[in-house]
Amino acid sequence: MTERLLTEPRVILFYISLLFYPLTSRLTLIHDFAVSKGIFDPWTTAPAILAIAVIIIFCLIRAKKWPLFAYCMIFFFLNHFIEGSFLSLEIIFEHRNYLPSMLLFVPPAVLLVRALEYFYRKKIIFYSLTVMTTALLVILAVSVYIQNDIMKNEISLWSDNVEKSPRLHHPRQSLAVALFIAGRLPEARQELERALNSYESGLIVKKNLTYGCLGEYYFVTGDDRKAFDYLSKSVNLYPPYSYVPLSFDRMAIILMREGALQKAEEMALKAISLKPQEAHFHLTYSEILLKKGQPEAAIKAALQALKANPSLVDAYKYIADAFALKKNSLAEDHFRKLSKKAIGL
């Protein structure tokens, strides 16, 4: 908490600098911001605290003479107070600037209008101010266009974040997920391994997600042994397991392939307990029950999958297989027809 309170004044001044100097090279989703370890570590900590104190005191003293200026500045700092002080949140997020900055540009705008009025008869200065203001607006518009291009998709967004904050874990992991979804699997694996070696990888909550993603990579690429090792790490690092229900489902499928049906059932039930609304988890459980020769329970599990996702075609197939085990050919034929109808055959 001490380090947080020492760091936030530097963050607030950084927010102000972003508002008045918003180069795209300085903007990103997750910043790698150095934490203040002491009042002079880094040395900018003390000046930042002093600067904010001076600004606030100055505004309070001048509130009667310059009420608009004082109100706009106090509004900015008050709106940063909760997220930028004692609450245990991420140190910095640019979106926290949205509401506080609402009035911050009012004093500069008023000052510009008054300057234009004052220099109206001095044409050289008047037109110079007009040209500079127009040029500034054009430059800002171009910056917005460039920033929008960076944020056009997940890969471009997280690639930019990795480039600007290469030491951080979260951007690399998010980039890996985006690459994985895009089918660029080798690149996704490389980013996940780099994430594990990042300086933030000691945070267990983040690391177990990375292990889960690596397990998913090896599961998809057909290396069940490596997949199971990484998936096991992802669920063992951080009980209460709430971050990785998919890992339990994947381990259940791998164990089922190996014939370890009792352990597979345990894993499937854990996945369902963590995320009961996920249809595919019930489907995995139904398949395991079929292999165990429990058609009634398999039907119930498949119906739960259909309840969660009525368009899940495989559920009809599993129900048909269950009725086949029960020697009920009429019901089996009915659900096989439903399965074919669902896939348009």
Over the stretch 149-176, which tens digit does the pLDDT of each residue have?
999 999 999 999 999 999 888 899 999 9
State the alpha helices, DSSP H only, in the chain. 2-20, 45-61, 67-81, 106-118, 123-150, 154-164, 169-181, 185-196, 204-220, 224-236, 245-258, 261-274, 279-291, 295-308, 313-325, 329-342
| Residues 147 and 163 both lie in one domain | no
Band (197; pLDDT cuts 50, 70, 90): confident
For residue 338, pLDDT over 90 is answered with no
CATH of the domain at 172: 1.25.40.10
**Nearest CA-CA partner of 52 in 12, 22, 101:** 12
Residue 289 has a CB neighbour count (10 Å cut-off) of 23
What is the tally of structural domains in the chain?
Answer: 3
Tell me how far apart the alpha carbons of residues 234 and 253 are, in angstroms, rounded to a whole number: 16
pTM over 0.85: no
End-to-end CA distance of the chain: 62
Q: Are residues 315 and 301 part of one domain?
A: yes
The CB-side HSE value for 157 (13 A sphere, CA atoms) comes to 13
Same structural domain for residues 121 and 99?
no
Quick one: 179 and 218 in the same domain?
Answer: yes
Taking CA atoms, 8 is separated from 27, 31, 33, in Å, by 18, 13, 10
Tokens of 242: 């709430």
- Same domain assignment for residues 13 and 120: no
Q: In this structure, what are the phi and psi dihedrals at residue 38, rounded to the nearest 5 degrees?
A: -160, 180
- Confidence (pLDDT) at 243: 61
Instruction: Read off the pLDDT band of 202 (50, 70, 90).
Output: very low
Can you give the pLDDT at residue 208?
81
Same-domain status, 202 and 75: no
Model pLDDT for residues 97-122, shown as the tens digit of each residue: 999 998 999 999 999 999 999 998 89
Question: Taking 60 as the threshold, does the pLDDT of residue 227 lie above it?
Answer: yes
Buried b (16+ CB within 10 A) or exposed e, 187-217: bbbebbebbeebebbeeeebbbbbbbbbbbb
| Same domain as 133, residue 93 | no
Cα 279 from Cα 315, distance rounded (Å): 9
pLDDT of residue 282: 97
Q: Which pair of tokens denotes residue 182? A: 């895009």
Residue 238: which pLDDT band, with cuts at 50, 70 and 90?
low
Cβ neighbours of residue 295 under 8 Å, at least 6 residues apart? 289, 322, 323, 325, 326
| Residues 44, 2 share a domain | yes
Domain hosting residue 49, numbered range: 1-104
Residues 283 and 191 in one domain: yes
Kindly report, residue by residue over 49-92, the tens digit of the pLDDT: 999 999 999 999 999 999 999 999 999 999 998 888 778 788 89
Considering the domain architecture, whether residues 275 and 313 belong to the same structural domain is answered as yes
Rounded to 5°, the CA angle 175-180-186 comes to 95
Question: Are 122 and 243 members of one domain?
Answer: no
Token reading at 250: 């994947």
Q: Are 185 and 170 in contact (CB under 8 A)?
A: no
Residues 6+ apart with CB under 8 A from 14: 33, 92
Average pLDDT over residues 335-343: 78
Is residue 273's pLDDT more than 80? Answer: yes
- Looking at the fold, whether 24 and 118 belong to one and the same domain comes out as no
- Distance, in Å, from the CA atom of 311 to the CA atom of 342, rounded to the nearest integer, reads 7
